[in-house]
């Protein structure tokens, strides 16, 4: 469990959380992994980037939540040319479908075994 | 890929999305699975419930997003006695830590291989 999450999550109120829920195809696992790693690295360099959480199960369904300082930075990342190119590739090869929800964080809680719960 | 997601997701604007990101311990997998299934079933019976997405990887990190008609129904689910009891058990046994972000959906997109993208 990364230690830096705890500090970051106290401050998520007002952030934009982009929920990306996607069904992977079985195709091109290596190409997908490489593109996903490249996108993670590129996203982290964007202005307003505030972190990411991601989980994918064996059934191919995964959820990625990226956090942004505000709507403008989330929209700018959506419009980034490299991101758009990968999105096209994703539609062609890697995904059977996805949902994307842009949200605004109104409340945040974090709990760690060592620390107890703190409401932000 | 469930067919009913597509219809549901067009209508997520204005819904409350509760993002629960948690690190599982290795303890009591059977007890956790049973409790998770029971909570999924109970949540689905609550007023204002609008669906759930969940994914967990082999590393024990998982994300569950539950969707609610409004803040009041999300808060009511949080306060449900059975849910509160399971939350206590989760802290004691099943989780090393978690983040919970209550959000409001401002935009929604869905794409399916057969259908193309639709902005809601």
Chain B residues within 8 A of A9 when measuring between CB atoms: 99, 101
pLDDT of residue B97 exceeding 50: yes
How far apart, in whole angstroms, are the C-alpha atoms of residue A30 and residue A33? 5
Q: What is the dihedral angle through the alpha carbons of A25, B98, A107, B45, rounded to the nearest 10 degrees?
A: 70
How far apart, in whole angstroms, are the C-alpha atoms of residue B4 and residue B99? 28
Most B CBs within 10 Å: which of A3, A54, A103, as the mutation test of the B interface?
A103
Q: Average per-residue pLDDT in chain A?
A: 88
Interface of A with B in 6-35 (CB under 8 A): 6, 9, 12, 17, 19, 21, 23
* Interface predicted TM-score (ipTM) of this complex, two decimals: 0.87
Establish, for the pair of chains A and B, how many residue pairs have beta carbons separated by less than 8 Å. 131
Chain A residues within 8 A of B102 when measuring between CB atoms: 105-108
pLDDT in tens, A62-100: 999 999 999 999 999 999 999 999 988 888 899 999 999
Residue B91 confidence (pLDDT): 85
Q: Token pair for residue A27?
A: 């195709």
Asked if B110 lies within 8 A of A99 by C-beta distance, the reply is yes
CB atoms within 10 A of CB A60: 15
Share of chain A above pLDDT 70, in %: 87
Q: Which residue among A17, A54, A99 places its CB closest to the CB of B5?
A: A99
């Amino acid at each position: 469990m990364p230690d830096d999450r705890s500090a970051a999550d106290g401050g998520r109120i007002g952030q934009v959380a982009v929920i990306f829920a996607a069904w992977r195809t079985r195709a091109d696992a290596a190409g997908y992994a490489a593109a996903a790693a490249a996108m993670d690295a590129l996203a982290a360099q964007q202005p307003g980037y505030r972190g990411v959480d991601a989980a994918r199960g064996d059934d191919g369904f995964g959820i990625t939540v990226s956090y942004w300082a505000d709507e403008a930075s989330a929209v700018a990342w959506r419009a980034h040319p490299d991101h758009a190119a990968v999105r096209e590739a994703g539609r062609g090869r890697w995904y059977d479908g996805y949902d994307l929800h842009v949200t605004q964080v109104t409340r945040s809680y974090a709990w760690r075994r060592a620390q107890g719960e703190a409401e932000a």
